[in-house]
Structure 1
């Protein structure tokens, strides 16, 4: 049975409704991160090391995984914006599991060759950057709409480089990771500034999914940078 939900944009809601939307959105982001940690810990215990390393060793398999991940992400986002609350949560949960699978080889290699502390450091840096960017988005009176085209173009360029690197077996290097950290930061800034214009007061699950996805992208490349400095 579908839950009837109002379709009032956050920007057009009362201050109390806005505060409630933001509180629920960031609570769900925190819960998604905790769920990701839990699922990742379980996967590291039950998935054989040989299979994890194969995800890195076989570049064509990895390319297939990214393609499936992209399609599944579209579905998860669609589900998270459904009128049915249970479907929304299914979309967010499904996306969390996808992220945990994608992160599996990176976290495994980081643990083996750089130590668990590098994951903790990357997580703390990610949280600090996300908090700072969110503060800027909420306190600044600037319009960050100009970032949209930059993010779209940067996303296509980065995807092309990633696919090219897999097909032709070349290393994208440290500066690519730095560029992706900048791109992820810009995405978080844009998404946060546009939350009130993009979602209704009852779409906090979908809003949290989008922020969670950008946070994980930021975490991936911060972790990659820290690992490269220790190699």
Structure 2
């Protein structure tokens, strides 16, 4: 039976079960992403992957479609239907795998697979550390919400501006995005109990997975810039 009890108001055993399922689904999403990405890299022609980056307007269109599809996937992941929840999570994993295609391809060719592995390990380590801080600290991280929202709008504006006018955002933008993604993970983790019902662990895992992938994108971008 699916319940609508907020995690904060649930019994301790229900809270523990919610967190276990949420982080299990985050781990499974990461593994699914790796598998889907590997398949796409093999079956999608290189010309198509390079074309995603070749024209800035095409990439802008891709990001716009990705954002709209992400909204739909998030809505599905919070559905009352368990099958629809998994459809939303699976769809979002596929979206991330597609959007990462050019970056992973370029990283493999010009920086090497070891750089991808190093970036992935650092991302996982940072996620684990941030999660530990969120669970063990007694601080209220609600103040991060406005910072994240404002930072998100500023970063989106810079990304769109960079694509439209052709300027490079540079290393410090990637550093700023790593900080923003880290703050988002900290805020999301600290607010899990207040934002989701005990039956919504699939939707919760999608949000955390999305932030992890954002963190990974910019950590990998930083690692690649160091090789140039």
The interval holding the TM-score normalised by the smaller chain is: over 0.9
Q: Does 1:166 align with 2:141?
A: no
Within 5 Å, give how 1:167-182 maps onto structure 2.
167-182=164-179
Match runs of 1:1-231 below 5 Å: 5-231=2-228
Q: Take 1:185 and 1:44, find their aligned partners in 2: how far apart are those partners? A: 28
Q: TM-score, with normalisation over the residues of structure 2? A: 0.99
Q: Deviations over 1:190-215 (max 9, x none)?
A: 00000000000000000000000000
Q: How many residues align?
A: 228
Unaligned 5+ residue runs, structure 1? none
Measured against aligned partners, the alpha-carbon deviations of 1:50-96 in whole angstroms (never above 9, x if no partner) come to: 11111111110100000000000000000000000000000000000
Distance 2:129 2:43 in 1: 36
Q: Secondary structure at the match of 2:5?
A: coil
Measure how far apart 1:6 and its partner are: 1.2
Moved over 2 A (4+): none
- Structure 2: distance between partners of 1:83 and 1:24: 17
Question: Alpha carbon RMSD of aligned pairs, Å?
Answer: 0.5
